[in-house]
Amino acid sequence: MPRPTARVLTLLELLQSGGLRTVAELAGRLDVDERTVRRYVDHLLDLDVPVESVRGRHGGYRLAPGYRVPPLMLRDDEALAVLLGLLAGQRAGLLGAAGTASETAAAKIRRVLPERLARRLDALLDSVAFTASPGRSTPPRTEVLLAVADAVHHHRPVSINYTAADGRRSDRTLHPYGLVAHAGRWYVTGEDPAVGENRTFRLDRIAVARTLPGSFDPPAGFDAAEHVLSGLATAPYRHEVHFRVEATAQYVRGVLPAGVAIVEQLPPGAEAVPDADSGPGSASHGDTGVWSRVEMRVERLDWLPPLLASLDRPFVIERPDELRVRVTEFAARLADSARRGTPHAGGS
């Protein structure tokens, strides 16, 4: 059974997590009665921890705003989780602050850790390898990210100063429905009331974000991540690619990059039957009988032939014709490489 001191420290951790905690809630979390909770609060007050008591039906306890406990007390697994989270966020480009913020935060944590634990964590961080390169995108301003997040959470309009990809600047009002982190960038999506349509904005292009008075009701069931990915997949690019593949939509989505392709599983009876002259990918092996149509918009076609090959399913290219040519050339290079080193016919 935990000692009273351990429970007092646990009470402090609960209060540090923010918000108002009822006596009943605290008693349940600490596995004590409500009278004991009040005694633990008195212990914290004796240690000059500013615990505020809120009276009334929905009253309870909370820490005074701005109070910080100087010592950082982390178990081994907690310290590991924090440092790995900082490192992963930095590598993914998803830290909403200056580029050095994660490094300085990690350094502060290391300074208060026991030397033994610090050495072991440093050894781990120096040894770990990531399969993805560090994010190269510009992180959003911290004040912008926090302001937009607050507006999303409380359903309040937000005014933004935005710079588009072509350099044009504008001041807009947005009813933000959700925040989405994707491929090293932050996006906010919601309704632009000036035009009555949904819009998606990159947070790193927002110079200033200011919460406005009032509120709005977001649409029920709105999926911010799906909306952003769909918008990225349909954005104007140089090439519009359409093809069919003999596989379920779930299988195709598991291979193609998120936010690049729109995948629709075709109904039974609408399956594609590859023609004899359909080119590479038309050969059937282990046909599933289920076909899906894929639409993609891309700037370059050179990376698509290996991607289509990685599907490992029969496919039919609908457009553009240039992609068919590139796939044919790619297949020829593979065949040529496979023949290298093969003994000549009749040489045995």
Residue extents of the structural domains in the chain: 4-63, 76-127, 142-230, 239-336
Is the domain defined by 4-63 classed in CATH 1.10.10.10? yes
The answer to which of 74-78, 191-195, 206-210, 293-297 has the lowest mean pLDDT is 74-78
Q: Which two tokens stand for residue 263?
A: 């995948």
Distance separating alpha carbons of residues 256 and 303, to the nearest angstrom? 12
Max CA pair span of the chain: 96
Backbone angles phi, psi at 45, to 5 degrees: -65, -35
H helical segments located in 71-141: 76-92, 101-111, 115-127
pLDDT at 208 over 80: yes
Q: What is the pTM of this model?
A: 0.48
pLDDT at 1 over 80: no
| Per-residue pLDDT at 318 | 94
pLDDT tens column, 244-275: 999 999 899 888 866 678 889 998 766 544 44
| pLDDT range class, residue 6, cuts 50, 70, 90 | confident
pLDDT at 117 over 80: no
pLDDT tens column, 28-67: 888 899 999 999 999 888 888 889 988 877 778 988 887 7
| Per-residue pLDDT at 157 | 95
When comparing pLDDT for 80 and 28, which is higher?
28
The answer to which of 118-122, 222-226, 248-252, 275-279 has the lowest mean pLDDT is 275-279
Environment class of residue 10 by beta-carbon count within 10 Å: exposed (0-12), middle (13-18) or buried (19+)? middle
| pLDDT range class, residue 276, cuts 50, 70, 90 | very low
Is the domain defined by 142-230 classed in CATH 3.40.50.2000? no
Q: Taking the CB of residue 342, how many other CB atoms lie within 10 A of it?
A: 8
| Per-residue pLDDT at 73 | 64
Residue with tokens 């990685």: 310
Confirm whether 4-63 and 142-230 share one CATH topology: no
pLDDT at 239 over 90: no
pLDDT tens column, 337-347: 888 866 654 44
pLDDT at 286 over 80: no
Q: Mean pLDDT of all residues in the chain? A: 79
Q: What is the rounded average pLDDT of the residues 207-219?
A: 94
Buried b (16+ CB within 10 A) or exposed e, 234-273: eeeeeeebebbbbbbbebbbebbeebbbbbebeeeeeebe
Strands (E), 203-271: 206-211, 239-245, 261-265
CB 109 within 8 A of CB 201: no
pLDDT tens column, 67-79: 765 555 667 777 7
Backbone angles phi, psi at 194, to 5 degrees: -65, -30
Read off the DSSP letter of residue 220.
T
Q: Which two tokens stand for residue 84?
A: 């790995």
